[in-house]
Amino acid sequence: MQPARRHGVVSSGASPARWRWGSSCATTHSRSRFGDEMWRKYKMGEAFKINDPETKAPALKNPFLHPKAGVLPADGMAIDRLLASGTVFGACHVALLFQSRMLAGNAGVSAEDAANEWTANVIPGITILPSGVWGVNRAQEAGCTYCAGG
């Protein structure tokens, strides 16, 4: 069963049916859920003080998506690898709106255009949730436990 959607966001009535025993769930801050083009356009590395592990300069690409082996502290922590292994990702809509508006000027677009573009360009396989807190609660209802990753 697919979650109900309203304005590109999973509604609060969505069932966590795909969050089952043995699956991993994760909520992400908005900056890690986009591909390289969005990172370049909105200067996310510079804005969020995230350096490229290879160049040591502000990241112009998502360092957590399709990294070369050995670049991240653990190869298995790459978003694409976690998605491929069945990890369910939920992205906080509140963070998306706040951060897209904060970085709209970096791309020379309005806050509304930035929010729309960010919503449309989330990495395939990541679901936009009303909020990360809501997503953690729903995951716990489905039997997941919460562990803050820093």
147 in a structural domain: no
User: pTM for this one?
Assistant: 0.76
146 in a structural domain: no
Q: What are phi and psi of 52, to 5 degrees?
A: -70, 125
104 in a structural domain: yes
3-state helix, strand, coil in the chain (%, to 5): 40, 15, 45
DSSP annotation of 51 reads B
44 in a structural domain: yes
126 in a structural domain: yes
105 in a structural domain: yes
Grouping H, G, I as helix, E, B as strand and the rest as coil, residue 6 is strand
| Mean pLDDT calculated for residue range 16-25 | 46
Q: How many structural domains are present in the chain?
A: 1
Q: Is 73 left (phi over 0), alpha (psi -120 to 50) or beta?
A: alpha
- What pLDDT score does 33 carry? 87
User: For residue 26, what pLDDT band results from cuts at 50, 70 and 90?
Assistant: low
| Mean pLDDT calculated for residue range 42-66 | 94
Range of the domain at 74: 5-12+22-141
User: For residue 82, what pLDDT band results from cuts at 50, 70 and 90?
Assistant: confident
- Compute the distance between CA of residue 146 and CA of residue 123 in angstroms, rounded to an integer: 23
